Amino acid sequence: MTTTRFAPSPTGRLHVGNIRTALHNWMLARKAGGEFILRIDDTDAARSKEEYVEAIRADLAWLGLTADREERQSKRLDKYETAFQALREAGRIYPAYETQQELELKRKVQLGRGLPPIYDRGALDMSNEERATKEAEGIAPHWRFKLDHEEEISWEDGIRGASKFDPRLLSDPVIRRADGSWLYMLPSTVDDIDMGVTQVLRGEDHVSNTAVQIQMFTAMDAVVPAFAHEALLVGREGKLSKRLGSLGCDSLRKRGIEPEAIIAVLARLGTSLPVEAISDRAKLLDTFALSTFGRAPAKFDDADLERINTALVHAMPYDAVKHRLPEGMDEAGWHAIQPNIDILDDAEEWWGLVTGPIEHVDFSDADRAYLGQAVNHLRWSKDPWVELTSALKETTGRKGKALFLPLRQALTGMDHGPDMGELLPLIGETKTRARLERAAAG
């Protein structure tokens, strides 16, 4: 069975970058009839906050990305300890004592010699006496995973194709800090093994992590999952990193962006498929395939998101939104104002044209006289707007803007807006006559 996972750290809110990762893993699982796991990577106790765990759950629920099960790394620490001890006994984990300053100095020396700035495995050359001296001085070690330099690392990436790394050009990764806390690499690998993850889809910034973790899977005699690395999101002017706060799930929701608009844009962003206003997830799933993903950076444009959002709002049926509309707005009211709104919250403002009060407009003497005639010609019928304008056109000779604009201004206080033929029956005869009389009187 296909099993995927989304593994956020609860150190902040979800943004378009990790929403896209969650969505694509959800789509991989759903299309294959498999399982989608939400794994909360909360081993960093100092930075992880429960409020963000709740926010992640709420955001995913709002987006409709329901997980089949949830796991918490903080409840699996014994699993990581067991794997750590087994790998240590097998000689694949070793202690290192260098400080950050010492490591930085080594990197500078290597760069100065034209060498790759990777860890030189100096800790492996230490004698037992030297290690004992460090311990006696109160210097606790951090722990590194020892890469097998004789084992070339290769895999068929679901997006990037054939991928290969020379382990001699990689640093042995630190997997555990001196205080005993865990870094990302080992717990993630242990979890993928225990949870039966079959496909790992993540950003291309994890490619070198994948190379290291493949050796971890092998060292633990586990099946290596299929890996795929998608291009990172960029904005029109470059990286999105500085803007991610404004592109967080909570910010998008406050702006009135619909979850289906976010899904429609991110589902195909970075693929060869067109980004369209599609609210049917079954259609998005039918066309979803890793083979459509490209290697070029995926360009995220806020204007595209707003465009897709507006198109989806314009297509929403009344039954889908009636519980979110202003009090008193029926299906006819929704149909009248729907083409004029960009976000659903705009319905409140446009509905105010019906319920009132409306803005007062200063008319010329000629227009006031014209509106006085409109009062006299007003006859309520199935289509009062057509009858009124037809009568005024015949008796006044006005046409086009001169015919319609003063009426719209008198009845709505605006120069533009919903179709008056639909709006007038909603306003009603009493309010329509009163507004015309007020405008005519000045």
The binding site for ATP consists of 242
Residue 299, H or E segment: strand 298-299
Indicate the residue type of 331: E
Strand 233-235 to 238-239 pairing: antiparallel
Rounded-to-integer distance, Cα 65 and Cα 163, Å: 30
| Residue tagged 């950050």 (tokens) | 100
HSE-up of residue 277 (Cα within 13 Å, Cβ side) = 15
User: Which DSSP category does 240 fall into?
Assistant: S
Beta-bridge partner residues of 199: 226
* Binding site residue list: 242
Indicate the residue type of 168: R
Both tokens of 253, joined, read 């929701």
User: Which DSSP category does 288 fall into?
Assistant: -
User: Which DSSP category does 165 fall into?
Assistant: E
SS3 at position 250: helix
299: left (phi over 0), alpha (psi -120 to 50) or beta: beta
Biggest CA–CA distance in the chain, Å, is 110
Cβ atoms within 10 Å, residue 426: 21
7: left (phi over 0), alpha (psi -120 to 50) or beta: beta
The phi and psi torsions of 152 (rounded to 5 degrees) equal: -65, 140
| Terminal Cα-to-Cα distance of the chain (whole angstroms) | 74
Rounded-to-integer distance, Cα 431 and Cα 365, Å: 23
Residue 399 neighbours by CB under 8 Å, 6+ apart: 393
Rounded-to-integer distance, Cα 99 and Cα 97, Å: 7
Report the alpha-carbon angle 120-153-291, nearest 5: 135
Distances (CA, A) of 69 to 30, 35, 124, 189, 210: 14, 8, 41, 18, 24
Indicate the residue type of 43: T
